[in-house]
């Protein structure tokens, strides 16, 4: 994935916000040591993945289009010890168990394998930490969508009417992440639209494009597989130094029900802004952060 951020001297806690505001962030960048400062930022799926001319089909995991195995041994010339322990995510796999994240040593070996030889060894652990953090945040957003619409749009609307609000469906063991793909070079139609609007109305929509894009394929309880699209945006850091990211997570518009799901959420967001509920919630969250 392209969302690498690292600080060699410290490891501040990153934050993410579910959706980008109408005006995309226009400032804020990772520290100079971060590979994102390259003219062509590294894409995590390409770093851990393989090119068709360098590996056979047997080397590729079809669930994520990455190498089936990554070495845990030190790279030639490596001077810093990097952990080899892999963190288990909270994301259920399509078959059984939970997805695992690569260890810092695997991450470093993959970056060296793909030609990022100038990556600071002391920054790799922070890169992995933020990579894992954003994956968990993206999955949390998908779970919220699935709580509402995993049983179907009509069921969600009926439940909301009966409960007087949005439904909260708990489905044991579901949803599950079947597979995913990194597509950092393929801008989504929504992101492309914002770029066009940014040229026409720069004061409102101007800003950089997302630095990464993912497609996640999710299995619902009834056996239906649905696709989610995730755009990753960077934003100016908090005053305390924590990096901030915007995640725009929504169902892919490749089925009629997805249009209804997005329209439902859009209508609720519009009502929140019109009623001032979003302002009150943001003030409450800010007060909570300042008091902690």
pLDDT of residue 84: 95
Q: Report domain extents, the chain.
A: 81-254, 255-291
pLDDT of residue 29: 37
Q: What is the pTM of this model?
A: 0.72
The answer to whether 261 and 151 have CB atoms below 8 angstroms apart is no
Residue 140 has, within 13 A of its CA and on its CB side, a CA count of: 11
Q: What is the Cα–Cα distance from 23 to 203, expressed in whole angstroms?
A: 8
Helix (H, G, I), strand (E, B) or coil at 206: coil
Q: What is the Cα–Cα distance from 4 to 34, expressed in whole angstroms?
A: 7
Helix (H, G, I), strand (E, B) or coil at 248: strand
| Adjacent-strand bridge partners of 245 | 16, 234
Query: pLDDT (tens digit, 9 = 90+) per residue, 107-127?
Result: 898 888 878 888 889 889 988
Which stretches in the chain have pLDDT values below 70? Answer: 1-68, 152-172, 278
Q: Pull the structure tokens for residue 112.
A: 């060296």
pLDDT of residue 283: 82
Question: Burial of 136 by CB count in 10 Å (0-12 exposed, 13-18 middle, 19+ buried)?
Answer: middle
pLDDT of residue 2: 34
pLDDT of residue 7: 34
Q: What is the Cα–Cα distance from 175 to 142, expressed in whole angstroms?
A: 9
pLDDT of residue 216: 96
Residue with tokens 């409960």: 163
pLDDT of residue 11: 43
Query: Rg of the chain's alpha carbons, rounded to an integer?
Result: 20
pLDDT of residue 62: 57
């Amino acid at each position: 994935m392209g969302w690498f951020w690292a600080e060699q001297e410290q490891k501040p806690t990153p934050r993410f916000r579910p959706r980008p505001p109408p005006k995309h962030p226009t400032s804020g960048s990772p520290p100079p040591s971060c590979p994102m400062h390259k003219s062509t930022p590294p894409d995590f799926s390409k770093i851990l993945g393989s090119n068709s001319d360098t590996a056979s089909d047997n080397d590729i995991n079809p669930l994520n289009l990455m190498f089936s195995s990554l070495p845990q041994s030190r790279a030639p010339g490596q001077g810093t010890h990097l952990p080899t322990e892999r963190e288990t995510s909270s994301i259920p796999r399509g078959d059984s168990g939970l997805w695992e994240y690569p260890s810092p040593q695997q991450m470093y070996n993959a970056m060296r394998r793909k030609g990022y030889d100038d990556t600071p060894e002391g920054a790799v652990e922070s890169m992995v930490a933020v990579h894992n953090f954003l994956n968990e945040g993206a999955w949390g957003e998908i779970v919220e969508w699935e709580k509402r619409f995993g049983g179907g749009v009509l069921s969600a609307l009926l439940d909301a009417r009966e409960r007087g609000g949005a439904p909260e469906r708990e489905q044991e063991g579901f949803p599950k992440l079947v597979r995913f793909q990194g597509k950092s070079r393929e801008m989504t139609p929504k992101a492309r639209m914002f770029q066009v609007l940014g040229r026409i109305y720069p004061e409102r929509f101007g800003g950089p494009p997302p630095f990464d894009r993912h497609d996640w394929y999710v299995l619902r309880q009834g056996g239906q597989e649905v696709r989610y699209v995730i755009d990753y945006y960077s934003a100016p850091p908090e005053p305390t130094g924590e990096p901030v990211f915007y995640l725009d997570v929504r169902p892919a518009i490749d089925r009629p029900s997805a249009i209804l799901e997005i329209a439902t959420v859009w209508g609720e967001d519009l009502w929140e802004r019109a009623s001032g509920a979003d302002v009150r919630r943001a003030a409450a969250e800010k007060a909570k952060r300042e008091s902690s």
